[in-house]
Amino acid sequence: MNTRRTRHTAILLKNGKVLVAGGSDRHSCVFSSELYDSKTGNWTSTGNMSINRCEHTMSALTNGKVLVAGGDTSFVEIYDPTLGIWTTIERMHTTRLGHTASTLADGKLLVAGGETDSAEIYDPLTGNWTVTDRMHRQRYQHIAAVLTNGKVLVAGGSEVDYEGITNSCELYDSSAKMWTTTREMSHRRMQHTALVLANGKVLVTGGYDDTRKYLKSAELYDPLTETWTTTGNMSFPRAEHTASLLRNGKVLVSGGLAKNLIRYSTELYDVATGIWTVGNNMNHVRTFHTATELENGDVLVAGGSEGDKSAELYVSPKKTLATINKINNLSNGYKAPVTKKVLNKDGHNNTIGSNKYS
């Protein structure tokens, strides 16, 4: 990338490019944004946001534009991929940091928490924010997942910073405009991940608990019974990691933090067996990075680790050959482009256009 970033956001645009915005460059939060073109493997700068942002949210709207909200502010702006510019819109009612944003079935956006128990909804048709029912507790660095029944599951998080870490969960019903409590997770967690699987269940992994312990446990939420069941543990404890659902149905987990150790390891979860297997290591350690699935099923991992510029691809295991711009470290420090790498059955990580040569 052109800028060092951690605690940033990334999203796949309708044109196939990936938009990355904000984050910390190791010294402060930034307002810059850039685009990754998977066809060329190159990064290009695009319009700047109006303010610096970290721990904000990024959401795709039905019209192809992208909405960014919060980041220790109530300011909101929209990115137009056609024009390459950001436009500020009506502010949220509450300043938010480490919150969640979920796209509802009707195209509206539910924003919840962020060192508060409040929630509000953005309507793209009117451009207005409306305050909705409050959650049952204050949440920060929690997760939110849109279930197949249209409800939104919110789980875990802390009240502020690392205080008040919880295992409590609740559901938002957009038709009733209400939050209701549901079963608690087995572990208190913050900085964890959540993915909706093809079978409709939600897989939650890792995180940091109230005993100052990094977790390797994972559990599944079943919307039909509203219950949690434990599943196989990851090989390594991790928080501030990413989780991606691959085209073959497996889940890829990458990077993260455990005590003073920033990880470059990855693991794959087999939904059918509930077992984790260790995958190929990334080329860089990463925490608070982003992982974005591309149109071809590959996963673009970018930034993290105290504001790293580098990015790399996890190539989909469905393909046996990939032609991408790979960068290898040679003994003299020079990095040479390589193409056509044969992949193993679990895919392969390839460093791409990092603009980092030291």
Which domain-ending residue is among 191, 221, 242?
A: 191
221 located within any domain = no
pLDDT tens digits for range 132-150: 999 999 999 999 999 999 9
| Cα separation, 239 vs 287, whole angstroms | 8
**Which residues are paired to 57 by β-bridges?**
69
104 located within any domain = yes
203 located within any domain = no
Give the N- to C-terminal CA distance of the chain in Å, as an integer.
Answer: 14
Q: Which domain holds residue 64?
A: 1-89
| Cα separation, 211 vs 196, whole angstroms | 28
- Residue 339 pLDDT greater than 80, yes or no: no
Q: What is the mean pLDDT of residues 175-179?
A: 96
Which domain-ending residue is among 58, 89, 120?
A: 89
CA atoms 66, 55, 128, 144: torsion sign = positive
- Residue 345 pLDDT greater than 70, yes or no: no
> Does residue 8 sit in the same domain as residue 26?
yes
Mean pLDDT of the chain: 89
> Does residue 103 sit in the same domain as residue 15?
no
100 located within any domain = yes
> Does residue 16 sit in the same domain as residue 66?
yes
**147 CB-side CA count, 13 A:** 21
Q: What would the two tokens of residue 231 be?
A: 């599943």
Q: What is the CA radius of gyration of the chain?
A: 19
- Residue 338 pLDDT greater than 50, yes or no: no
Confidence tier at 318 by pLDDT (50, 70, 90): low
| Cα separation, 188 vs 168, whole angstroms | 8
pTM, to two decimals: 0.89
> Does residue 116 sit in the same domain as residue 185?
yes
> Does residue 47 sit in the same domain as residue 128?
no
- Residue 120 pLDDT greater than 90, yes or no: yes
Range scoring the smallest mean pLDDT among 126-135, 150-159, 255-264: 255-264
Q: What would the two tokens of residue 310 be?
A: 């580098």
| Cα separation, 177 vs 104, whole angstroms | 12
Pair 267, 255: CB distance under 8 Å: no
> Does residue 104 sit in the same domain as residue 156?
yes
235 located within any domain = no
CA angle 219, 281, 33 (to 5 degrees): 85
Confidence tier at 300 by pLDDT (50, 70, 90): very high
Beta strands at 85-89 and 76-80: parallel, antiparallel or unpaired: antiparallel
> Does residue 84 sit in the same domain as residue 96?
no
pLDDT tens digits for range 77-112: 999 999 999 999 999 999 999 999 999 999 999 999
275 located within any domain = no
- Residue 15 pLDDT greater than 70, yes or no: yes
177 located within any domain = yes
Q: What is the mean pLDDT of residues 268-285?
A: 96
> Does residue 42 sit in the same domain as residue 102?
no
Q: Tell me, what's the pLDDT at 135?
A: 98
pLDDT tens digits for range 206-258: 999 999 999 999 999 999 999 999 999 999 999 999 999 999 999 999 999 99
Q: Tell me, what's the pLDDT at 295?
A: 95
333 located within any domain = no
Q: Tell me, what's the pLDDT at 352?
A: 52
Confidence tier at 13 by pLDDT (50, 70, 90): very high
| Domains contained in the chain, number | 2
> Does residue 117 sit in the same domain as residue 186?
yes
Burial zone of 39 (CB within 10 Å; 0-12 exposed, 13-18 middle, 19+ buried): exposed
Which domain-ending residue is among 35, 63, 89?
A: 89
Q: What is the mean pLDDT of residues 62-68?
A: 97
> Does residue 98 sit in the same domain as residue 75?
no
Q: What would the two tokens of residue 103 be?
A: 């796209």
Q: Tell me, what's the pLDDT at 260?
A: 87
Distances in whole angstroms, Cα of residue 45 to Cα of each of 8, 33, 136, 150, 248? 15, 6, 41, 36, 33
> Does residue 69 sit in the same domain as residue 50?
yes
Instruction: Read off φ and ψ for residue 280, nearest 5 degrees.
Output: -70, 145
> Does residue 95 sit in the same domain as residue 130?
yes
